[in-house]
Amino acid sequence: MSARSVLTRRILAAVLVLLLIPMTILFGVYVLNDRKYYFISLLIISYTLIPFMLVFEQRIPRAREMMVIAVLSAIAVAGRAAFFMLPQFKPVTAIVIIAGVSLGAEAGFLVGVLSGFVSNFFFGQGPWTPWQMFCFGIIGYVAGLLSAKGWLRKTKTALCIYGGLATFFLYGGIINVGSVLMFTSEFSLQALAAAYVSAIGFDLVHALATVIFLFLLSRTMLDKLDRIKQKYGLIER
């Protein structure tokens, strides 16, 4: 893939992830009154597919390439369902980070978005679904960008540090804003501060779970994904 194509793809992905998708979520909140969350969720998935498909430039992606994304998303969904009895203690964020680091920022975002959407068919769909999709996705997206720049190494220590911080500050920081917008009649700094304080325990558990699952799974899964990429020439970053 040419340097110009990579730059174009990354600019488009950044515009979609950092601008268009947040605007779409807010459109659902303020214009659609949080009642069309399925529609907003499907729009987010559609946006996410655009930069991911550009990875393949002028060729049709092979089934095996799409299968890797599908399998990682399925593992994340199954992992979330398996730990349903433990609030916030889920492996989803860890798997999304692994996807981003191994397959690239666009793939990481896509795995996060799909995992959040599909798993909520088990946990319950609602106006929170687009927010969760975006939170999972942005963590995988940032992990992919940092890894591509060489700023996030594929070591357990580096991934665990990133996973813990990203889960607590990125996921927790964004989802708590969503909670205020969803469940209060009027947004205020006092309500936002109360949401952050009340969610500290949940965010810490979520961050701890991400660290634990990255410590247990990252090396094995990254090695497997690297072998698959080398064997089949999958998803060039």
Helix or strand or coil: residue 91? coil
Q: Is residue 96 part of a domain?
A: yes
- Residue 112 makes CB contacts below 8 A (sequence gap 6+) with 92, 96, 99, 133, 135, 136, 137, 138, 139, 140, 141
For residue 56, the model assigns a pLDDT of 61
Please state, in angstroms and rounded to a whole number, the distance separating the CA atoms of residues 79 and 66: 20
pTM for the whole thing?
0.93
In angstroms, the Cα distances linking 15 to 103, 167, 188, 237 are: 20, 22, 28, 18
In angstroms, the Cα distances linking 113 to 11, 17, 140, 163, 235 are: 19, 11, 9, 17, 18
For residue 186, the model assigns a pLDDT of 83
In our burial notation (b when 16+ CB lie closer than 10 A, e otherwise), range 116-130 reads bbebbeebeeebbbb
For residue 87, the model assigns a pLDDT of 87
Supply the Cα-derived Rg of the chain in whole angstroms.
Answer: 17
Residue 84's φ and ψ, nearest 5 degrees, are -60, -25
Q: Inter-axis angle of helices 128-149 and 105-123, to 10 degrees?
A: 150
Distance of CA 227 to the CA centre of its chain: 23
CATH number of the domain enclosing 155? 1.10.1760.20
- Residue 146 makes CB contacts below 8 A (sequence gap 6+) with 152, 162
Structural domain including 224 reads 60-232
Q: Is residue 10 part of a domain?
A: no
For residue 230, the model assigns a pLDDT of 81
For the chain, how many structural domains are there in total?
1
Based on the number of CB atoms within 10 Å of its own CB, is 45 exposed (0-12), middle (13-18) or buried (19 or more)? middle
Q: Is residue 46 part of a domain?
A: no
Q: Is residue 162 part of a domain?
A: yes
Q: Is residue 36 part of a domain?
A: no
**Six-digit token string for 105:** 């920022």
For residue 66, the model assigns a pLDDT of 82
Please state, in angstroms and rounded to a whole number, the distance separating the CA atoms of residues 120 and 112: 12
Q: Is 88 left (phi over 0), alpha (psi -120 to 50) or beta?
A: left
For residue 229, the model assigns a pLDDT of 83
Q: Is residue 35 part of a domain?
A: no
Please state, in angstroms and rounded to a whole number, the distance separating the CA atoms of residues 211 and 24: 31
Q: Is residue 196 part of a domain?
A: yes
Q: Is residue 34 part of a domain?
A: no
**Per-residue confidence in pLDDT tens, the chain, 237 aa:** 566 777 777 888 899 999 999 999 999 999 998 889 999 999 999 999 887 777 665 555 666 778 899 999 999 999 999 999 998 999 999 999 999 999 989 999 999 999 999 999 999 999 999 999 999 999 999 999 999 999 999 999 999 999 999 999 999 999 999 999 988 878 889 999 999 999 999 999 999 999 999 999 999 999 999 988 887 666 555
Please state, in angstroms and rounded to a whole number, the distance separating the CA atoms of residues 154 and 31: 42
